[in-house]
């Protein structure tokens, strides 16, 4: 593996993890709904969509920047495993409405934000 790419992933991952930590602290669980997780999943989706859009629309994005943002930053920022755990916990606690809302919000919003990032990259 290229050492420069590995360093880019490590630095991006560090910043993504720290961002996740601070964003989740700013937006704790609201009632039973995990707002912080939705925000970080949404932000990572927008950034990944933008990065993919840039590449798709023909912009030359160097491989170390793709590794930094895509694998490193967004990989550490996005919390799909946390989303899954929180949804499971809501189901276990028989909070079916909140679990359903959590699934729909995270899936629909993040897909829409990937699309938004993709479109933003075209400009």
Q: Average the pLDDT over 30-35 and give the result.
A: 83
Task: Enumerate the domain spans of the chain.
Answer: 3-122
> How many of the other CB atoms lie within 10 Å of CB of 63?
12
Give pLDDT, residue 74: 92
Give pLDDT, residue 37: 87
Taking Cα atoms as reference points, which of 66, 46, 55 lies closest to residue 122? 55
Q: Average the pLDDT over 32-44 and give the result.
A: 89
What is the band of 3 on the pLDDT scale with cuts at 50, 70, 90? very high
Among the residue ranges 15-19, 27-31, 35-39, 50-54, the one predicted with the least confidence is: 27-31
Q: How far apart are CA 27 and CA 48, in angstroms?
A: 22
* Share above pLDDT 90 across residues of the chain, in percent, rounded to a whole number: 69
For the segment 67-118, what is each residue's pLDDT rounded down to a tens digit? 999 999 999 999 787 788 899 989 999 999 999 999 999 999 999 999 999 9
Question: Rounded to two decimals, what is the model's pTM?
Answer: 0.78
Give pLDDT, residue 34: 86
* Share above pLDDT 70 across residues of the chain, in percent, rounded to a whole number: 99
Taking Cα atoms as reference points, which of 61, 57, 51, 50 lies closest to residue 116? 50
Q: How far apart are CA 60 and CA 50, in angstroms?
A: 13
């Amino acid at each position: 593996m290229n050492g420069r790419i590995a360093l880019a992933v490590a630095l991006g991952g560090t910043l993504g993890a720290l961002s996740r930590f601070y964003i989740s602290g700013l937006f704790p669980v609201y009632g039973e709904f995990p707002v912080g997780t939705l925000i970080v999943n949404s932000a990572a989706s927008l950034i990944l969509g933008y990065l993919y859009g840039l590449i798709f629309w023909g912009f030359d994005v160097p491989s170390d920047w793709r590794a930094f943002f895509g694998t490193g930053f967004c990989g550490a920022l996005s919390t799909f495993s946390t989303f899954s755990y929180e949804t499971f916990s809501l189901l276990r606690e028989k909070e079916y409405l909140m679990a359903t809302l959590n699934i729909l919000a995270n899936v629909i919003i993040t897909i829409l934000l990937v699309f938004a990032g993709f479109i933003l990259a075209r400009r």
